[in-house]
Chains A and B, each alone.
Chain A
């Protein structure tokens, strides 16, 4: 296939391309919290929470091929770790992140023990049980002293003073007005930080030797084992890291709403399903898939949020959605999912990988450094075998 532009990896053009892409991302990230409207900042923050959760699931399902329908429980562990520590003991919400990670990591490794023996639909069922039990467990009467029961916990976020406080850097005010719950840009940065950390961890894992071993296990378990990959240890580690990462956006969700209740969407099984869907639509098994999927999901649900009132639907598509008594966002996403499974089973990122070579091709560096001397190049068939056969 001929492409319009061919760029060699490591050359100036490649670096320029990376620079432009990086500058665009950083530009948006700086513009939104300082110049965007509050609803826009909220939209980004919510998308970040979903992104981090979907990325953590992607590490497990997209790369290691182990399904989990219980990630809402890990999300909830993070949410409650922050809730309990801040609300009951009054610690700063920021210190709850590492604690949430460790707790979820340990529970993730424990959950992975059955996963070492079972696969596919059976693993889905075991993790589904975890996802279903979690909200019930939180509401257990004997745990009310800790979790607050069905009513949940209040005052679980940052407790800003009523006085106006701003942190200006050379006239630039990155955190906005830090009063009460009005500090939208501040929350934006926390959520963005979690996404960046999750991305870097996922990237670090995936692009390394251990990342190859994860994909190897997904693609061909037997072959991976005979290459010397420790199946049990690698799977348990992937489960633990994925669970720990999923707890981080859970912490953010508690900080955002300043409270935590057991029946909120992402803590129930609907959370796991949402993570799964945005991951698949974006592109499972790719680093950018969950990011794009989450962005799209939040964009669509936000755009269609007030479509329950017919007047708010753009005239051109009004006939299609006027029957909806509630916001059709989830429905649109469901139909998109079904359609995508036909035209793009590898998600949006898969479509990009399929068609981008027409536009631009990046040629990677040549492999290896040495120049081994070929011995079989000219004699592919040995003379003892060739001839009479």
Chain B
């Protein structure tokens, strides 16, 4: 049984369907990347999985159907999303941002988790009283990731974490995502335009075009394919 199984997914905004017939699978403990150009439906896929927009078809997570679930039920089931762009709450402090990530939890280990993620992201600990809006772009993206992890997810959805970040910062973020996956066994579904970097940390890759998956395979297979390499990797 796969962790996440999406089949014949249709979703969109109002009468317009962005995703026509989308199928993808995320196995437990792997990083999967969805590559695609602007308007291909990458963000829509993320929003459909996290329950933010109307959708039909079938989405199964850890054996349970979440096709009809509300966003908060999906977070409770164990899917956390790092939204696109600067997805922080700018007026809340860094610490409160992280606490907001534990919103669906009701146990008494929240403080422990908080301390733990401050160990993992020492730069956030230094800035924990600061307004999240006053942080740099890379730090804000770290806040968004740490905040998502505060809900103790089994699957992390990352929507273009590299957007608007300098290459070095992007590299550091991808390093963090890779080590979260390696050390903690976190499964990650990543949406990216930055194909080079994404394919290095991913085990498998999906290519999406106008709401459909047009190619899939392991990172090595896809980067070996000439036409795909030209279109998405640019060499």
Contact = CB atoms under 8 A, between A and B. Distances in A.
Interface of A: 209, 212-213, 215-216, 218-220, 222-230, 285, 364, 367-377, 379-382, 384-386, 389
Contacts of A364: 129
B147 A368 contact: no
B75 A381 contact: no
B117 A380 contact: no
Contact of A229 (B103, B112, B184): B103
B233 interface: no
A375 B120 contact: yes
A372 B87 contact: no
Contacts of B201: 382, 384-385
A389 B196 CA distance: 9
B5 to A, nearest CB: 20
Interface string B28-50: 00000000000000000000001
Contacts of A223: 83, 87-89, 144
A368 B113 CA distance: 8
B112 A370 contact: yes
Interface of B: 50, 52, 70-72, 75-76, 80-81, 83, 87-92, 95-96, 99-101, 103-104, 111-122, 125, 128-129, 144, 147-148, 151, 171-172, 174-176, 178-180, 182-184, 196-197, 200-201
A57 B144 CA distance: 30
B120 A212 contact: no
B197 A389 contact: yes
A264 to B, nearest CB: 36
Contact of B172 (A222, A228, A380): A380
B103 A212 contact: yes
Contacts of A372: 112-113, 115-120
B70 A386 contact: no
A215 B117 CA distance: 22
Nearest to B200: A385
Contact of A376 (B99, B125, B176): B176
Nearest to A218: B91
Contacts of B114: 367-368
Contacts of B196: 389
B151 A227 contact: yes
Contact of A382 (B92, B104, B122, B178): B178
A23 to B, nearest CB: 28
B111 A386 contact: no
Contact of A368 (B89, B112, B182): B112
Nearest to B112: A370
A105 B183 CA distance: 50
Contacts of A229: 72, 100, 103
Contact of A226 (B83, B91, B115, B125): B83
Contact of B116 (A285, A370, A379): A370
Given A222-B83, A377-B119, A367 B103 contact: no
A382 B197 CA distance: 12
Contacts of A375: 120, 179, 183-184
A371 B129 CA distance: 19
B175 A215 contact: no
Contacts of B76: 228
Given A367-B128, A381-B172, A385-B197, A224 B119 contact: no
B122 A385 contact: no
Nearest to A222: B83
Nearest to B98: A367
B147 A227 contact: yes
A101 to B, nearest CB: 27
Contacts of B176: 376, 380, 382
Contacts of B101: 227
A385 B92 contact: no
A369 B110 CA distance: 10
Nearest to B81: A226
A194 B117 CA distance: 42
B121 to A, nearest CB: 8
Contact of B182 (A215, A382, A389): A382
